[in-house]
Amino acid sequence: MSKTATPPANPVDTFWTIRLATTKEALEANNFEVSMAENLADAARIFLQDILPASGAKTVSFGGSMSIGKSGVPEALRAMDSIELLDTMNYKLPAAEMYELRRQALLVDMFLTSTNALTVDGKLVNLDMIGNRVGGINFGPRKVVLFVGRNKVVDSVEDGMRRIKEFSAPTNAIRLAKKTPCTKVAECMDCKSPDRICNVWTITEKAFPAKRIHVVLINEDTGL
């Protein structure tokens, strides 16, 4: 008599383990460096114990990212005497000072952020308000590290753009208390509001130079 296979303890996590492995292969084929993390705490450990020491980075900064903010990494970096931190996550700063820090952050050794969407064939899809986050991802900082939750993985660039317009942008506008129509109706209205956060699209098909962008794939939902 044949034995019945024992089902995995968590089929959802098993599904994502398989899907993220496929995405990892695609990213590496597109010249990205990739690490796999079981959860956000594991991503922080990988960054602090492995990625940061190996990089030799002396100056570090951020692009807006809920995942980075919740990971504990900013607090750890603030406590390091060996790191000069351009802290663009200090939201107590005046707007003009914050803007200048974001400009300076484009020349740091290491830039930490996330992506709005990641295709299973290894492309980054992003939509930004100011442009500092997508600017830092694509040029300037010597090394970029992205914390990417499994909820950001989509089938295609078109699916990524749809996800951003239908979910990421409205929820981020709500989170940031922006005065835009999407915060009232929970969908993009292609508005002309001064508070509009949907201004700069980028699609990053390959990392250049190779391995400049390090993607930490996280096997749990994190970020918007």
Ranges of each domain in the chain: 11-153+204-218
Task: Evaluate the omega torsion of the peptide bond into residue 209 and state whether it is cis, within 30 degrees of 0.
Answer: yes
User: Which option is the CATH number for 11-153+204-218: 3.40.50, 2.40.50, 3.40.390, 1.20.120?
Assistant: 3.40.50
One-letter amino acid of 133: R
Average pLDDT score over the chain: 95
Which residues of the chain have a pLDDT value below 50?
1
Structure tokens at 70: 């919740």
Q: What is the pLDDT of residue 217?
A: 98
| Long-range Cβ pairs for the range 27-30 (8 Å, 24+) | 27/118, 27/122, 27/215, 28/122, 29/122, 30/122, 30/123, 30/205, 30/206, 30/207
How do residues 158-210 score in pLDDT, each as one tens digit? 999 999 999 999 999 999 999 999 999 999 999 999 999 999 999 999 999 99
Residues contacting 35, CB < 8 A, separation 6+: 43, 46, 50, 51, 214, 215, 216, 217
Structure tokens at 54: 């190996």
Query: What is the reported pTM?
Result: 0.94
Q: What is the pLDDT of residue 1?
A: 46
